Amino acid sequence: MTGLAVLVRKELLEQRRTLRLVVVGAVFLAFGMLSPVLAKYFPELIKALVPANQVPPNLPVPTTADAVAQFVKNVGQTLTLAAILLAMGTVAAEKERGTAAFILTKPASRAAFVVAKLVGLGATLGVAMIAAGLGAYAYTAWLFTAPPVAGYAAMCVLLWLSLLVIAALTLLGSALVRSAVAAGAIGFAAYIGLAVVSALPTIGPYTPAGLQGPAAQLALGEAASDLVGPIVVNVLIVAGATALAWLSFRRQEL
């Protein structure tokens, strides 16, 4: 892949200069800190928003497990949408502006162009996930009890992989079309489709959403079910989506 190192440096520099890294990191950090807060004060919110005669008499006392579950839920829903927004213009916007054609006049292959985009996405989501994990862990330890550090870190890695799968599928959409909005629609459709498939007992554990349950178990220090197969399948989805993005992109006139 000619020019891969140069293009990766370009992507990482662009993530910083366009403030995408800062903005995405701030969003992830905010949701990370908010997750245990919501879990802690959810009973009070119910009492404040629901008429007194409709409030359940025995609301459960929030625990560390609730804080972890809220964090996993926020990553799987809201922050997944943030990953789609981040990825949807990666290739489509450069094709639309004509910068892709300019870059490829240099000694750089189209495969390197696509892979560099994936690396840039993975790096940005990785830094943002670290910020979210640190914020969530600090507030969980403050409001509840501190979960095991190693297990919590493993949870963050699994959640990062689940985000990368959706980002890679959105990258594929961005390579297929010339509109960032259309690419975002493809990424969102992939997210909904995988969410539906995750409800199937046989296939569900191998989807990005299927990683969330074991991730929460690891964060609480519990033994998770066999993760090798689901991790391998999700990595293969990322690799397959990237390969298809390259195959599509290499045939296009820029």
The encoded tokens of residue 70 equal 């809220």
pLDDT at 104 over 70: no
pLDDT, position 40:
87
pLDDT of residue 171: 95
According to the model, what pLDDT value does residue 46 have? 63
The predicted pLDDT at position 50 comes to 61
Give the residue-averaged pLDDT of 130-140: 96
Among candidate residues 178, 162, 174, the one with its CA nearest the CA of residue 113: 174
Q: What is the pTM of this model?
A: 0.92
How large is the average pLDDT for residues 239-247? 94
Residues with Cβ within 8 Å of 163's Cβ and at least 6 positions away in sequence, in order, are 75, 79, 80, 83, 125, 129, 208
For the chain, what percent of residues have pLDDT higher than 70? 91
Report the C-alpha gap between 253 and 216 in whole angstroms.
45
Q: Which of 89, 66, 85, 91 is nearest to 28 (CA)?
A: 85
pLDDT tens for residues 173-221?
999 988 889 999 999 999 999 999 998 989 999 999 999 999 999 999 9
pLDDT reading at 101 higher than 90: no
Query: 154 is written with which tokens?
Result: 């493993």
pLDDT band at residue 17 using 50, 70 and 90 as cut-offs = confident
Token output for 212: 């969330």
H helix or E strand, kind and range, residue 145: none
